[in-house]
């Protein structure tokens, strides 16, 4: 496996630290309440384990003006959180997402009695806590033969119509069956959930489903907004998309395809925005081709009126996966605009790339009501995707890779690696030209850092480095498709929370970005048993004035970035979820919360 570029001194230091941590783990093994070894429960997958010991987050570094605590732990892949006023206090709604990542070890049908087993950690549900952390309802909305959330998952987010004051509780879910087969195309949806009974009522159905389903929610001025991720990694359906069976991307405007077609091996060539194996170089693809509803497309921010779900329209598009969304306050430097955290492409599929950045974008409609356009799939951040800096290096997720574990770091045979380097470099354009001028990002973030949540802080949170009007964003971290995004001794970016301070309204826009909360090792916690983050997948400011960080838990991955995090067992990969390792963290100003 490809290790991180690092000096021998740093390597020796890390190995020494792991030896020390392992020794501590042996001492703690007599106290299972402190450190637990948690395993994936699917037959044949139990070798995939995690050291789980959140304690009170003592290994999370935050500014001295703040404290970290655990609100809830031992959860199954939480991704969404919402708050509801209740008397003099509040309730906390946590969405557990279920089967969200590709591996036989995450297949919900293989646990217990399968899809409708009420104990199944790989199917989604909602838990309700009081403000002290006591579970008062749930799991509710669990899949049943007659309703509930969809069993394949993932469910992603939830939000109350009137925020803390309640109203309808919206949630997103899908029957994605990530990459295992034809993942129930167009199975994503937005539903309402009864906050007392968990009864699920569909609101908008038949939304695109592929690599990325219907994701995060935001509500403003009578509109429901949501991030609708791209159905592919790169604008082209490859073998990484359910063996080629998953649906093609859907454009929000008319586009003209380039003359390029993309090779998945065995004679299969595919054009962008087309089904697997279909070539149509130079063709015009009409807006919304392949959609089940008027106004539906992907790689986009969509919206519909709260009082009429038929009014779907694109608000902004040209994102690979604009997962994280959050509206700025009206009196902010962003003037109430929608900030989007976009996750860039991976090294995989028929159009692989390496080192593409993640991006902070400002989404808005054009004056004529059309969506603005942010450049994907042919532009990564400020640069064309054809720039040599994004050239693939060859890896186990590439369609043309013939596996050879004896040939690190690519893990491909020499012949197939040579084919990748010959055919896929430079990265070829999907479109003949962009459908309109490209809106550039506000800022870029490290490759594979993975935006998963954005929220703006209240004035009461402005202490130390945090200024009024600041935003916090969560970074889930990489999944090991590529090497680490930093060269030692510089730390990796990911598995953390970052801070953005903005200029004063009325001045030229400026963003000042810095780390806010991270583990002492800058790595995920489960490998070494740290009392800290694994995969922060959302962040919301709570009614107590604290930042609530939703932590998905431990996932074993391809191991390209951190070999110690690699999944166990050649048939088990590539991304093995470990139930019971999710956490809800609170980061509060000292003396507050």
- Please, what are the domains in the chain? 8-391+426-589 (2.120.10.30), 392-425 (no CATH)
Query: How many CA atoms does the CB half-sphere of 554 hold within 13 Å?
Result: 31
Closest listed residue to residue 567, CA positions, set 450, 478, 477, 480: 480
Three-class SS of 59-76: CEECCCCEEEEEEEEEEC
Specify the pLDDT at position 177: 61
Per-residue pLDDT reduced to its tens digit, 125-164: 999 999 999 999 999 999 999 999 999 999 999 999 999 9
Angle at 493 between CA 488 and CA 494, to 5 degrees: 135
User: How far apart (Å, rounded) are the C-alpha atoms in residues 249 and 278?
Assistant: 13
CB 237 within 8 A of CB 212: no
User: How far apart (Å, rounded) are the C-alpha atoms in residues 386 and 480?
Assistant: 23
Cβ contacts of residue 85 below 8 Å, gap of 6+?
164, 165, 166, 543
> What are the distances in angstroms from CA 503 to CA 138, 165, 444, 507, 508?
43, 31, 18, 6, 7
CB neighbours (10 Å) of residue 254? 12
Specify the pLDDT at position 506: 86
Per DSSP, the three-state class of 280 is: coil
Specify the pLDDT at position 181: 53
CB 173 within 8 A of CB 153: yes
Tell me which of 49-58, 397-406, 480-489, 510-519 is least confident.
Answer: 480-489
Bond preceding residue 457 cis, omega within 30 of 0: no
> Is pLDDT larger for residue 434 or for residue 29?
434
Pairing of strands 262-263, 269-270: antiparallel
Per-residue pLDDT reduced to its tens digit, 378-388: 999 999 999 99
Closest listed residue to residue 457, CA positions, set 361, 546, 537: 546
User: How far apart (Å, rounded) are the C-alpha atoms in residues 418 and 416?
Assistant: 5
* pLDDT higher than 60, residue 25: no
pTM of the model as a whole = 0.93
Judged by phi (left if over 0) then psi (alpha if -120 to 50, else beta), residue 348 lies in beta
User: How far apart (Å, rounded) are the C-alpha atoms in residues 258 and 508?
Assistant: 38
Predicted confidence band of residue 7 (pLDDT cuts 50, 70, 90): very low
Q: What is the average per-residue pLDDT within 390-399?
A: 94
Predicted confidence band of residue 242 (pLDDT cuts 50, 70, 90): confident
Percent of the chain past pLDDT 70, that is, above it, reads: 93
CB 390 within 8 A of CB 378: no
Mean pLDDT of the chain: 92
Specify the pLDDT at position 482: 86
Q: Tokens standing for 70?
A: 């655990």
Predicted confidence band of residue 560 (pLDDT cuts 50, 70, 90): confident
CB 420 within 8 A of CB 426: no
DSSP character at residue 197: T
* pLDDT higher than 50, residue 257: yes
Specify the pLDDT at position 27: 37
Bond preceding residue 139 cis, omega within 30 of 0: yes
CB 297 within 8 A of CB 314: yes
Query: How many CA atoms does the CB half-sphere of 166 hold within 13 Å?
Result: 10
User: How far apart (Å, rounded) are the C-alpha atoms in residues 457 and 465?
Assistant: 13
Per-residue pLDDT reduced to its tens digit, 440-473: 999 999 999 999 999 999 999 999 999 999 999 9
Strands of 291-400, DSSP E: 300-305, 308-317, 324-327, 338-342, 358-363, 372-373, 379-380, 383-384
The helix, strand and coil proportions of the chain, stated in percent and rounded to the nearest 5, come to 10, 35, 60
Closest listed residue to residue 316, CA positions, set 335, 330, 331, 337: 337
* pLDDT higher than 90, residue 399: yes
**Residues belonging to the chain:** 593
DSSP character at residue 103: B
Query: How many CA atoms does the CB half-sphere of 22 hold within 13 Å?
Result: 8
Beta bridge partners of 201: 192
Predicted confidence band of residue 20 (pLDDT cuts 50, 70, 90): very low
Pairing of strands 451-456, 471-475: antiparallel
Specify the pLDDT at position 574: 85
Closest listed residue to residue 98, CA positions, set 72, 71, 80: 80
Pairing of strands 308-317, 372-373: parallel
Per-residue pLDDT reduced to its tens digit, 318-358: 999 999 999 999 999 999 999 999 999 999 999 999 999 99
Q: What is the average per-residue pLDDT within 389-400?
A: 95
Specify the pLDDT at position 22: 43
Tell me which of 56-60, 104-108, 144-148, 560-564 is least confident.
Answer: 560-564
CB 552 within 8 A of CB 508: no
Predicted confidence band of residue 33 (pLDDT cuts 50, 70, 90): low
* pLDDT higher than 80, residue 15: no
Query: How many CA atoms does the CB half-sphere of 584 hold within 13 Å?
Result: 28
Closest listed residue to residue 471, CA positions, set 498, 495, 500: 500
Phi, psi of 95 (to 5 degrees): -95, 120
* pLDDT higher than 70, residue 30: no
């Amino acid at each position: 496996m490809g290790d991180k570029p690092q000096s021998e001194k740093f390597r020796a230091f890390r190995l020494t630290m792991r030896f020390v941590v392992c020794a501590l783990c042996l001492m703690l093994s007599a106290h299972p309440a402190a450190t637990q070894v948690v395993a994936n429960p699917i037959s044949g997958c139990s070798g995939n384990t995690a050291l789980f010991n959140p304690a009170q987050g003592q290994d999370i570094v935050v500014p001295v003006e703040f404290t970290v605590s655990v609100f809830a732990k031992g959860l199954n892949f939480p991704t969404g959180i919402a708050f509801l006023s209740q008397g003099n206090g509040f309730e906390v709604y946590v969405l557990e997402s279920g089967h969200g990542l590709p591996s036989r070890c995450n297949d919900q049908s293989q646990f217990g009695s399968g899809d409708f087993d009420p104990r199944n950690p790989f199917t989604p549900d909602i838990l309700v806590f009081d403000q002290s952390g006591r579970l008062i309802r749930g799991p509710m909305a669990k899949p049943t033969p007659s309703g509930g959330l969809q069993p394949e998952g993932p469910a992603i987010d939830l939000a109350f119509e009137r925020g803390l004051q309640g109203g309808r509780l919206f949630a997103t879910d899908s029957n994605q069956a990530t990459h295992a087969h034809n993942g129930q195309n167009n199975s994503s949806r937005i539903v309402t959930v009864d906050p007392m009974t968990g009864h699920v009522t569909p609101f908008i159905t038949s939304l695109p489903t592929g690599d990325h389903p219907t994701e995060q929610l935001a509500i403003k001025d009578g509109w429901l907004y949501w991030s609708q991720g791209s159905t592919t990694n790169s604008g082209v359906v490859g073998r990484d998309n359910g063996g080629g069976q998953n649906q093609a991307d859907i454009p929000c405007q008319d586009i003209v395809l380039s003359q390029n077609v993309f090779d998945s091996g065995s004679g299969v060539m595919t054009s962008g925005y087309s089904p697997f194996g279909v070539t149509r170089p130079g063709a015009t693809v009409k807006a919304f081709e392949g959609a089940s509803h008027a106004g539906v497309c992907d790689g986009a921010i969509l919206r519909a009126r709260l009082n009429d779900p038929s009014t779907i329209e694109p608000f902004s598009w040209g994102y690979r996966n604009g997962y994280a969304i959050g509206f700025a306050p009206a009196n902010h430097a962003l003037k109430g605009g929608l900030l989007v955290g976009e996750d860039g492409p991976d090294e995989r599929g028929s159009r692989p790339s390496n080192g593409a950045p993640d991006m902070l974008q400002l989404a808005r409609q054009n004056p004529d009501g059309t969506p603005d356009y942010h450049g994907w799939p042919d532009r990564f951040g400020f640069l064309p995707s054809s720039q040599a800096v994004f050239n693939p290096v060859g890896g186990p997720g590439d369609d043309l890779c013939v596996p050879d574990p004896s040939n690190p770091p690519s893990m491909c045979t020499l012949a197939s690696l040579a084919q990748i380097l010959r055919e896929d470099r430079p990265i070829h354009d999907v479109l003949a030209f962009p459908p309109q001028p490209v809106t550039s990002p506000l800022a870029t973030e490290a490759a594979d850092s993975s935006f998963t949540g954005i929220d703006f802080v209240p004035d009461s949170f402005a202490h130390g480095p945090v200024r009024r009007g600041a935003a916090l964003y969560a970074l889930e971290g990489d999944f090991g498709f590529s090497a680490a995004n930093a060269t030692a001794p510089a730390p990796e970016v990911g598995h953390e929370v970052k801070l953005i301070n903005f200029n004063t309204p009325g001045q030229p826009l400026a963003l000042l970005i810095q780390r806010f909360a991270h583990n002492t090792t800058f790595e995920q916690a489960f490998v070494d048993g740290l009392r800290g983050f694994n995969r922060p997948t959302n962040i919301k400011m709570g009614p107590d004035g604290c930042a609530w960080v939703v932590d998905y838990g431990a996932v074993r991955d391809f191991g390209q970035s951190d070999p110690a995090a690699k999944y166990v067992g050649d048939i088990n990969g590539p991304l093995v979820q470990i139930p019971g390792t999710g956490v809800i963290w609170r980061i509060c100003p000292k003396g507050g919360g």
